[in-house]
Amino acid sequence: MTRRQEIVRQLTAHTTGSPKPEAQAFAPANVALCKYWGKRDADLNLPVSSSLSISLGSLGTTTGLRLRQGADHIMADRLELSPDDRFCRRLSAFLDLFRPDADTGFVVETRNSVPTAAGLASSASGYAALVLALNDLFQWQLGREQLSILARLGSGSAARSVYNGFVVWHCGASDSGMDSVAERITGEWPELRVGVVIVAGSEKPIGSREAMARTVASSPFFDRWKAVAEADMHQLREAIGNHDLELLGTTAESNAMAMHALMLASRPPVLYWTGATIDVLQRAWALREDGVPVYCTIDAGPNVKLLFLDEAEARVREAFEEATIVQPFGE
Ligand code: 2P0
């Protein structure tokens, strides 16, 4: 039995009875304010440091599931995908962990509530929605922390997408990863807004999984990252507790810059930004100079996410007509 199979067995062994005919679940996309970047265990997606995110309310993935005889049948946004597609192969390999027997397949239908081109439809909401749907299909009745462990086996950042609101994913210390769970932290902040600015671009130069491994293996600054992340986690929790946008924004922005600096110094370098990414950053910083409190974060891609409050929304909309603006605490 592999370590992944052993974890699934431990969490689901209590289940009795037969699966439901079908199940469906939704999980939100999330934006990390303190990033997950670097694994201490690539098989179990165990991170070197804890991370903290904000979930994006109704923006995310809805996944429907049922069992069938034969191979998996996977549809994404109403398009049927070839089993040889990279996305399908990864999904089917993950579903192998939950297959009742080798002759049983899953019918999986995923729908993203934002166009994939908006850059928000990531593996995070996808694997989280899938695990929530599996929990319903097989009637495991697992708690969210346990579901975050299963979602993490699909994709690290999916551990955080099993919750709404502000979420901490604890790095944990055990080899089994049973303490590497995500938890929702208290702190409603209805005035908070996230603006997603899409930068037109081509396919990512390198997937985040490979980029992360390369950073750990070759970035000369990687040994500083754990301490940076720990300090940032502390500041972000304080900012959330006090509704302090300046502390939240400056910390999230600096954390993102540090992550990209790590990547730039890797060999060969990893650069996700385009000229348009820098243009967005400079426009946001100019707006800030002009007295509008708006801060930036960037994930493993060229798009920029803006953090600001409702009172700045009109100015942000005016400056970034192309932005999709999200209210993480209710529309
Ligand atoms: C994050 N990202 O914290 C960071 C910031 C991208 C930049 O988590 O290999 O797809 O599946 O565990 O979760 C993207 O990495 O990686 C990511 P895997 P994942 O959101």
**Region 6-19 average pLDDT:** 91
In sequence order, the 6+-apart residues with CB closer than 8 A to the CB of 194 are 31, 54, 56, 305, 306, 307, 325, 326, 328
Number of helices (H) and strands (E), helices first, in the chain? 9, 13
The domain locations on the chain are 3-184, 192-326
**Tens digit of each residue's pLDDT (9 = 90 or more) over 220-258:** 999 999 999 999 999 999 999 999 999 999 999 999 999
Q: How far is the CA of 317 from the centre of ligand 1 (A)?
A: 28
Q: How far is the CA of 69 from the centre of ligand 1 (A)?
A: 33
DSSP 221: T
Q: What is residue 114's predicted lDDT score, i.e. its pLDDT?
A: 74
- Partners of 295 in the beta sheet? 307
Q: How far is the CA of 146 from the centre of ligand 1 (A)?
A: 19
Q: Is the CB of 208 under 6 A from ligand 1?
A: yes
SS3 255: helix
CATH assignment of 192-326, given 3.30.360.10, 3.30.70.890, 3.20.20.70, 3.40.50.720?
3.30.70.890
- In percent, the amount of the chain with pLDDT more than 70 equals 97
Candidates 65, 37, 73; CA nearest to 216 is 37
Distance CA 303, CA 317 (A): 16
**Tens digit of each residue's pLDDT (9 = 90 or more) over 49-67:** 999 999 999 999 999 999 9
Residue nearest to atom 9 of ligand 1 (CA): 209
CATH of domain 3-184: 3.30.230.10
Q: Is the CB of 110 under 6 A from ligand 1?
A: no
Which atom belonging to ligand 1 lies closest to the Cα atom of 34? 3
